[in-house]
């Protein structure tokens, strides 16, 4: 009997439940897809290193899943509370008929169970289908060949989904029971009759609060963009975050009153068609929804930042790779003077090639474009000394830099050989000149301060002046990021006064196809690993390694970004949609009245569309403004990854938002239209 009531209730209120159900299904599907990634990589042909990265990624994703399930849990509780509220009268009738509260709880329990089971099933099926597409994406991310395409079903992800969502539904059931046991019959029966008093806010107070919160927000923006250099420790980031949250809330609060006031004073607009009705609807609701608007705005803001930043990291990492790792391999041998090991000490005298040859690696047969180079250091030239008169100012700004660190010095002829191989610009220097090669943005700014002043440096007993007033772009060490914080290039004879610190070598592999390159890589690694710290201090850095690490990192960040971003987006859109739908049912009478006085259907649809559009757009617009600064800040933090590829990732983010958020918007509009249509 109770089961029958529950089932009929669901069928009856399918309109209310549709978006709730839709959201649950999406949540389940996404949860499954991201937790089954490890299974999807099974059919890929990946190296050991890549599979380690995938393991790491799986672990991090399952960590995220806990967070995601908390968010979804809140969403589900919020949504079910909402749906219960809509049915207060129905429960009131049950109670007056003599049904016990426990039985009503049972009805709700059964309803949650039916919806839960159904959504889990549909969600898992959808997740299974989506995960097949996902495996294509995964393969693409890791540049892996799909050895064989097969449908994969991850039992563990499925069980995990069942457990997590089972837990969420269980919590909802408990929550519903508490909710029901607390309510009073009189409130239930008269729930619909309570009409909200419309209080217009004082425009003067609104204006003042708006100005204050706008300036506080601007200050918070400034802290994370213009004044970002002053951020010295991680804790300091809390200040702009808190300022941003509070001012967002008050901006919504004041703007809602203010906008209404402004439009009301433009009589020609306000008294045109149903504009007055639309605006009043908007303002009467926003009085009560400022808080949820703020939450939605912040969630959208996080979504936009997370998605665009994570996508851009992946993009710029792949783009950087070819530019920043132009050769296949790079060696460097540390010449540490205080080593007791005699074998290592004698190895100091050998070049890198000689070391490799000695350990059984045929350089002539395997390597091409062999270019040796040396890096010198001198106690005369530390970062502090480089900065010279600018040191005091810079030190105040960047307290945590090591100013006693010795600078790397390379001769102009060594650098030009490398630059030629890399395809970078070559330079020439007079006897008393030096230049700085760097590509790490914040260090460039810092060094340019000194270069601009024409600070001289001293090596041995001779002074050198900068040839250029700015750092020149370039690097020696191959990597996936812009990490060269500055190398001093000096005339060849200047190194007399410095000591040799590293012996380096860059080279290409003779083999051209990937498979042979991997073989060469393996051979070299064996040599290096067997000699390291035993007979030599030579280390290697190969393009293949860098590529795998950067692809792995890129994929890791992308997947986590996508996972969290989509969940946040769905949650915020679902909250808005549920709110709007229930508003539409509450406003049924108002629309009925509008029809009675002869309003055209077209005009009614227009005002409905506008209302929903305003409610969806308002938090989005503020979130986009936040994001402009948020992304800038993220770009600053992630600047070593390069930021030249931000635009495509912003476009991708926009597509995500348009599809998901826009999708929710249109579903809400069409469902609302349906709700207000039935006038029987």
Per-residue x/- track, 309-348, other proteins (CB under 8 A) = ----------------------------------------
Size of the site for other proteins (CB under 8 A): 28
Q: In 405-461, which ranges are continuous DSSP H helix?
A: 412-422, 441-452
User: In the set 273, 404, 648, 662, which binds other proteins (CB under 8 A)?
Assistant: 273
User: In the set 173, 274, 317, 507, which binds other proteins (CB under 8 A)?
Assistant: 274
Tell me whether residue 131 or residue 284 sits nearer to other proteins (CB atom).
284
Q: ∠ at Cα 441 (436, 444), nearest 5°?
A: 30
Per-residue x/- track, 493-532, other proteins (CB under 8 A) = ----------------------------------------
Q: How far is the CB of 600 from other proteins (least distance, A)?
A: 5
Place of tokens 């129905």: 90
Could you give the dihedral angle defined by the CA atoms of residues 56, 57, 59 and 64, in that order, rounded to the nearest 10 degrees?
150
In terms of Cα–Cα distance, which of 136, 53, 179 is closest to 555? 53
Interaction with other proteins in 116-175: which residues (CB under 8 A)?
A: none
Q: Which of these ranges, 29-37, 409-417, 587-595, 609-617, lies near other proteins under the rule CB under 8 A? A: 587-595
* Residue 275 interacts with other proteins (CB under 8 A): yes or no: yes
Q: How far is the CB of 620 from other proteins (least distance, A)?
A: 24
* Residue 198 interacts with other proteins (CB under 8 A): yes or no: yes
Tell me whether residue 399 or residue 602 sits nearer to other proteins (CB atom).
602
Q: How far is the CB of 576 from other proteins (least distance, A)?
A: 20
Interaction with other proteins in 206-235: which residues (CB under 8 A)?
A: none
Tell me whether residue 74 or residue 270 sits nearer to other proteins (CB atom).
270
Q: How far is the CB of 266 from other proteins (least distance, A)?
A: 9
Q: Is residue 78 within 8 Å of residue 24, measured between CB atoms?
A: no
Tell me whether residue 166 or residue 273 sits nearer to other proteins (CB atom).
273
Residue 121 Cα to chain centre, angstroms: 30
Q: ∠ at Cα 251 (248, 252), nearest 5°?
A: 90
Q: How far is the CB of 597 from other proteins (least distance, A)?
A: 6
Q: Is residue 306 within 8 Å of residue 631, measured between CB atoms?
A: no
* Residue 277 interacts with other proteins (CB under 8 A): yes or no: yes
Tokens of 28: 């389940």
User: In the set 170, 271, 398, 666, which binds other proteins (CB under 8 A)?
Assistant: 271
* Residue 197 interacts with other proteins (CB under 8 A): yes or no: yes
* Residue 469 interacts with other proteins (CB under 8 A): yes or no: no
Q: First vs last Cα of the chain: how many Å apart?
A: 29
Q: ∠ at Cα 268 (266, 270), nearest 5°?
A: 65
Tell me whether residue 402 or residue 596 sits nearer to other proteins (CB atom).
596
User: In the set 184, 190, 272, 469, which binds other proteins (CB under 8 A)?
Assistant: 272
Interaction with other proteins in 589-608: which residues (CB under 8 A)?
A: 590, 593-603
Q: Is residue 581 within 8 Å of residue 16, measured between CB atoms?
A: yes
Tell me whether residue 593 or residue 637 sits nearer to other proteins (CB atom).
593
Q: How far is the CB of 584 from other proteins (least distance, A)?
A: 14
Q: How far is the CB of 289 from other proteins (least distance, A)?
A: 14
Q: E-assigned strands of 309-353?
A: 329-334
Q: How far is the CB of 591 from other proteins (least distance, A)?
A: 10
Tokens of 347: 């190895």
Place of tokens 């996936």: 480
Q: How far is the CB of 680 from other proteins (least distance, A)?
A: 11
Question: What's the rounded Cα separation, in Å, for the pair 354 and 334?
Answer: 15
User: In the set 247, 281, 542, 572, which binds other proteins (CB under 8 A)?
Assistant: 281
Q: How far is the CB of 296 from other proteins (least distance, A)?
A: 22
Q: Which of these ranges, 209-217, 279-287, 396-404, 663-671, lies near other proteins under the rule CB under 8 A? A: 279-287
Burial class (CB in 10 A: 0-12, 13-18, 19+), 636: middle
- Cα dist from 361 to 352, 357, 540, 544, whole Å: 11, 5, 14, 19
Tell me whether residue 270 or residue 636 sits nearer to other proteins (CB atom).
270
Per-residue x/- track, 238-267, other proteins (CB under 8 A) = -----------------------------x
* Residue 677 interacts with other proteins (CB under 8 A): yes or no: no
Tell me whether residue 77 or residue 269 sits nearer to other proteins (CB atom).
269
Tell me whether residue 270 or residue 348 sits nearer to other proteins (CB atom).
270
Instruction: Determine phi and psi for 327, rounding to 5 degrees.
Output: -120, 165
User: In the set 40, 58, 284, 315, which binds other proteins (CB under 8 A)?
Assistant: 284
Tell me whether residue 155 or residue 194 sits nearer to other proteins (CB atom).
194
Tell me whether residue 268 or residue 423 sits nearer to other proteins (CB atom).
268
**With the C-alpha atoms ordered 646, 647, 648, 650, is the resulting torsion angle positive or negative?**
positive
Q: How far is the CB of 187 from other proteins (least distance, A)?
A: 19
- Cα dist from 393 to 384, 446, 527, whole Å: 11, 10, 47
Question: What's the rounded Cα separation, in Å, for the pair 282 and 617?
Answer: 12
- Cα dist from 438 to 201, 473, 487, 535, whole Å: 57, 5, 6, 33
* Residue 8 interacts with other proteins (CB under 8 A): yes or no: no
Contacts of 440 (CB under 8 A, 6+ apart): 482, 483, 484, 485, 486, 639, 640
In terms of Cα–Cα distance, which of 202, 273, 215 is closest to 244? 215
Q: Which of these ranges, 72-80, 104-112, 510-518, 588-596, lies near other proteins under the rule CB under 8 A? A: 588-596
Q: E-assigned strands of 77-177?
A: 145-146
Question: What's the rounded Cα separation, in Å, for the pair 204 and 301?
Answer: 29
Q: How far is the CB of 589 from other proteins (least distance, A)?
A: 8
Contacts of 268 (CB under 8 A, 6+ apart): none
List the beta bridge partners of residue 500: 376
Q: How far is the CB of 195 from other proteins (least distance, A)?
A: 5
Q: Which residues bind other proteins (CB under 8 A)?
A: 195, 197-198, 267-268, 270-277, 280-281, 284, 590, 593-603
């Amino acid at each position: 009997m109770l089961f029958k009531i529950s089932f009929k209730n669901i069928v009856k209120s399918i309109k209310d439940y549709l978006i709730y159900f839709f959201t649950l299904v999406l949540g389940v599907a996404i949860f499954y897809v991201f937790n089954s990634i490890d299974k999807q990589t099974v059919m890929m042909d990946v190296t050991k290193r890549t599979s380690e990265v995938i393991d790491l990624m799986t672990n991090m994703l399952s960590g995220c899943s806990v967070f995601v399930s908390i968010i979804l849990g809140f969403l589900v509780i919020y949504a079910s509370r909402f749906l219960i509220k809509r049915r207060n009268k129905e429960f009131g009738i049950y109670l007056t008929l003599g049904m016990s509260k426990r039985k009503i709880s049972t009805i709700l329990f059964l309803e949650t169970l039916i919806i839960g089971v159904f959504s889990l099933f549909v969600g898992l099926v959808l997740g299974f289908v989506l995960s097949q597409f996902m495996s294509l994406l995964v393969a693409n991310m890791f540049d892996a060949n799909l050895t064989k395409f097969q449908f994969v079903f991850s039992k563990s992800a499925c069980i995990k989904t069942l457990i997590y969502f089972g837990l969420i539904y269980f919590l909802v059931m408990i929550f519903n029971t508490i909710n029901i046991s607390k309510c009073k019959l009189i409130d239930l029966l008269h729930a619909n009759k309570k009409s909200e008093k419309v209080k217009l806010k004082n425009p003067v107070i609104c204006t003042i609060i708006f100005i204050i919160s706008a300036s506080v927000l601007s200050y918070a923006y400034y802290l994370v963009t213009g004044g970002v250099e002053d951020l010295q420790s991680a804790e300091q980031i809390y200040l702009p975050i808190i300022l941003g949250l509070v001012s967002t809330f008050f901006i919504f609060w004041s703007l809602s009153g203010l906008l209404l006031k402004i439009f009301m004073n433009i009589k020609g607009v306000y008294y045109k068609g149903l504009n007055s009705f639309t605006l009043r609807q908007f303002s009467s609701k926003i009085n009560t929804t400022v808080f949820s608007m703020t939450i939605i705005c912040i969630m959208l803001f996080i979504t936009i930042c997370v998605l665009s930043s994570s996508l851009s990291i992946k993009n710029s990492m792949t783009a950087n790779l070819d530019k920043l790792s132009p050769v296949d391999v790079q060696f460097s041998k540390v010449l540490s003077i205080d080593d007791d090991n005699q074998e290592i000490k004698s190895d100091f005298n050998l070049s890198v090639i000689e070391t490799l040859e000695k350990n059984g690696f045929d350089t002539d047969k395997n390597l091409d474009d062999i270019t040796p180079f040396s890096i010198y250091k001198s106690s005369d030239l530390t970062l502090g000394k480089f900065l010279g008169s600018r040191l005091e100012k810079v030190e105040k700004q960047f307290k945590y830099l090591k100013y006693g660190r010795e600078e790397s010095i390379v001769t102009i002829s060594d650098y030009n050989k490398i630059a030629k191989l890399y395809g970078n610009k070559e330079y020439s220097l007079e006897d008393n000149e030096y230049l700085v090669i760097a590509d790490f943005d914040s260090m460039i700014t810092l060094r340019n301060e000194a270069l601009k002043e024409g600070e001289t440096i001293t090596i041995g007993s001779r002074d050198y002046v900068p040839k250029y007033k700015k750092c020149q772009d370039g690097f020696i060490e191959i990597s996936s990021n812009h990490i060269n914080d500055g190398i001093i290039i000096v005339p060849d004879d200047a190194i007399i006064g410095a000591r040799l610190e590293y012996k380096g070598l860059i080279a290409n592999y003779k083999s051209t196809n990937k498979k042979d390159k991997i073989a060469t890589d393996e051979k070299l690694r064996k040599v290096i690993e067997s000699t390291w710290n035993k007979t030599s201090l030579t280390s290697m850095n190969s393009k293949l390694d860098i590529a795998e690490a950067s692809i792995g990192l890129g994929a890791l960040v992308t997947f986590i970004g996508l996972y969290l971003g989509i969940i946040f987006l769905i949650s915020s859109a679902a909250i808005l949609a549920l709110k709007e739908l229930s508003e539409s049912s509450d406003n049924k009478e108002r629309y009925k009245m509008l029809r009675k006085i002869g309003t055209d259907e077209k005009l009614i649809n227009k005002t409905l569309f506008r209302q929903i559009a305003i409610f969806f757009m308002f938090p989005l617009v503020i979130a986009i403004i936040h994001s402009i600064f948020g992304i800038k800040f993220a770009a600053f933090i992630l600047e070593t990854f390069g930021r030249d590829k931000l635009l495509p990732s912003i476009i991708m983010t926009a597509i995500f938002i348009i599809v998901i958020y826009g999708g929710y918007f249109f579903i809400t509009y069409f469902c609302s239209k349906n709700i207000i249509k039935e006038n029987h």
